[in-house]
Amino acid sequence: MSVEKRDERMLELNAKGLANEEIQPILAKEFPALIVTARTIADRLWRMGAKAFSEGSSDQEQQEERNASQQLVEHMLDKTAEFIRDHKPMPPVPDKIRAVRIEDMGFNTLQEAVALFSDLHYYSRIDRRASNGLAEYNIDIARERFTRWRNGILRFTQIHQLVLEVKTLNILALGDDLEGHGEMFGSQALQMSESINFQILGFVEDAVDIILSFLERYEHINIVKVPGNHGRITARAKSAYTPDNFETLAWEMIAERIRSTTGGEWETPNGNRHLEGGLVDFHIIKGAIGFIEIMGWLCALRHGQSIKGLNATYTGAIDNKLRLNSVIGEQINYYFKAHLHEAQSAEHEIRGETIQNGCFVGPSLLSIEMSRAASNIPSQEFFLFHPAYGRTHLNRIYLATVDEVRHLEVIGRDSK
């Protein structure tokens, strides 16, 4: 049954003088799949140009109803026409956005690149046999991912520099570059392949090579380093003194090695170590928190081992950032942290954002055995800073694939 046939039947019954209330049961019987009410019949008849009327209504009442309906329709049409007439069109697409030639696109604002670097845990050893294939990490995997991080930065830089002016790379080193001295927790010595001395030597050698490779794309590199908890000298966290940190020593060695190639002079104001004046500047922070202004945006950076997840009440990163605003007496625009091995971010204030970096490790014995089991693809954050818009061109550098991370054994499935 079609709507057209029902409407034809409706007009036929109306022409015979039947009221809407009389037409309704007839249509309901003949067209059970297209049931309509008396009010709907009146509306349909009016739309089809017929004169609908209800039981008990006089011709004068019907005419008054039609006149009122007609006036309402005319009023709505007038208001619609007025709205359309007064509505302003959207602004045209700017010529520089419509342009097809790069030189006509207007990309003439100098920007700076920012690479977060954290939780490398060089020389950590996670035996996949101890996790049923859910976690694996060793120095070979670490060096491979360190290389992918380098290549990812250079690759994204290639893309950005095709159309943008990007001359400076800021590396914000947020800690846990090394696995540690082997006494941080009971089984740590079983989960590392070298002592802390050789961890430092190997990391310094590889980091120098990678940092110098960035000069192939950047005119200047600016590195800010804050200490991580895995670099602490004491066994117990409660006994740790932040400035005494193996990572701080490693980065001073890296800076001194690079200085012989790129130049610069050391200064030590406020207890921090600064190497400036060459192609690569180093700012080695002895305390837990460092501050840097990039393109006019105030950034705070720390490892964050004493801070819980982003949204934890009182102890989370968002709450901690808001409190730091009051401590320093101004708003921190970007708060960078690490430690939890999970890439996350949150905006909780106007022009204020908290960014938590990922890691190189991926799943670990800790992450899969704890009550809130978690794992993710190893990654590091990379983006640009614009003087007017802040953090733009957000890129996440993934350091492994799913197949590389998971080696799960399911009995009865893999043995066949």
Output the CA angle 243-244-250, nearest 5 degrees. 100
Q: Report helix, strand or coil for 228.
A: coil
Q: Residue 31: its pLDDT value, please?
A: 86
Q: Residue 79: its pLDDT value, please?
A: 87
Q: What secondary structure does DSSP assign to 320-342, as a single string?
A: HHHHHHHHHTS--SEEEE-SS--
Q: Residue 169: its pLDDT value, please?
A: 99
Helix axes 3-15, 38-47, angle to 10 degrees: 90
Per-residue tokens: 339: 């430690």
Domains, the chain: 3-86 (no CATH), 107-405 (3.60.21.10)
Q: Residue 377: its pLDDT value, please?
A: 94
Q: Residue 340: its pLDDT value, please?
A: 92
Residue numbers of the chain with a pLDDT score lower than 50:
none
Strands 334-337 and 297-302: parallel
Do 224 and 172 meet the contact criterion of CB atoms below 8 Å apart? yes
* Digit-coded pLDDT (tens) for 330-362: 999 999 999 999 999 999 899 999 999 999 999
